[in-house]
Chains A and B, each alone.
Chain A
Amino acid sequence: LAMLANLEMSICRVRVTVRDALNQAMDEELERDERVFLLGEEVAQYDGAYKVSRGLWKKYGDKRIIDTPISEMGFAGIAVGAAMAGLRPICEFMTFNFSMQAIDQVINSAAKTYYMSAGLQPVPIVFRGPNGASAGVAAQHSQCFAAWYSHCPGLKVLSPWSAEDAKGLLKSAIRDDNPVVVLENELMYGVAFELSDEAQSKDFVIPIGKAKIERPGNHVTLVAHSRMVGFCLDAAAVLAKEGVECEVINLRTIRPLDTDTIEASIMKTNHLISVEGGWPQFGVGAEICARIMEGPAFNYLDAPAIRVTGVDIPMPYAKILEDNSVPQIKDIIFSVKKTLNM
């Protein structure tokens, strides 16, 4: 009995929101390496526009947590320059929509420099912030940038879903000696997940470039990233009642894409549906399907691989319109049934 009691206590399950997981990741890495620092709008005294950096300025002060003026191109460039000169900046964009002001610095100054210099000049920088649709923020504040950034060699692009993803991926990003874009999701910030023992450790990192099978299944492969992973799991739960077992893959990293995990899954299930919040044309799903066409898994497909995506329009404001602009659980279920000819 005593042994059982001890066992119970050692499995210390903790529920942590995605927001707090990101906060922990930054706190731990700031503590671990004094070259790490955070800059962006409202990150210091406001505790972060979305409170992701809450408490960090109080703990680390002005030198390491820096409030910037509203000057994305300027401060992104400053961050890249600091990385070139030996620091390890975390550059926050209040949302990735504003990164468009600074995209030249991300691509031309950060991503390409190691190559152009033939290895003389590394750029160890993290660009992070919320990406994609939110709630009621309309067209200029709702774009998903996964496809745009993932197009470019020299960048790594991460898209966490759960609290464990958020913590492990952000820590890996900060420790990486290269430019990494971390696409968070505002609607996920407040969602709590269980953090395993392992994930609570200060050295917990998730390898970049490896997808995770969140739910094994035999009948159809659902590949998603960020918030859509949750939607796929919800759809899978509904479909399970009808005897359809979905395998849900959480990409975790968009670039480099873990094609091997997707292919292995298709060889088992013979059906592929990719699910994303972003627009269809030239999107993440388009790349996945193209790769599957070109690779060994093609011969295992019993039906064409398809994509479930955001609607090909700028994001509207009215709730009924907004709700119908992004994939809903019923859209995923519908697509699974069509693919399986049910």
Chain B
Amino acid sequence: MASTKKEEVKLIGFWSSPYSRKVEIALQLKGIKYQYLEEHDLKNNKSPELLKYNPVHKKVPVLIHNGRPVVESLVILEYIDETWTQEPALLPSDPYERAMVRFWCKFIDDKFSPAVRKYLSLGPETDGENARTEAQECLKFLENELKGKKYFGGETIGMIDIVAIGLAFWQRTLQEITDKDLMNKQDFPLLCAWAEELLSCSVISDNLPPKDKFISLIRSRREAAAATSK
């Protein structure tokens, strides 16, 4: 049902941040109009708006709804789903199904992403076997979750799909740059098919960072990290 009262929705984000992009995808899936505010220098010069609306963590994304901020991407996604109740529902209505969605979203953020990032950030001279095994164990859990489903959300994109988007672009691109074998079609056919399916949706592909620009950013960060560690 369309709201008749004045709605002002703003999002403070950063072009390469997966957390920021996840919120944009959710807003666009629901057809919510918003004003996007890009943070230009997150590292050295955070904007007064960011410091005002997220004084605790000083991070993006920050959703500002009628002047009131909501921060932390998982919190924002649930807030979006509860405030704008039109389709698609990001979470199911059954309490047990909702608990499962929350569990997998937390798993992706707290255990899965750090494990994958750890492995992909290891230099070529480091023995990454343990890190790779840990990352692949995490991938196996998600591969299992996809059995018999097009998306984690079933027939439509849901909150887990949005939270897992890192796999389809960020981690995938990192894999390419580092030439590391992590998520491959042989071991993870369902996850690979899911990633292709997601990328074929315009609401997803329109909201990903430009690939060349992203690759340049990652390369320059890795060079800077290598220089400081020498």
Are A and B part of the same complex? no
- A: residues with CB less than 8 A from B are none
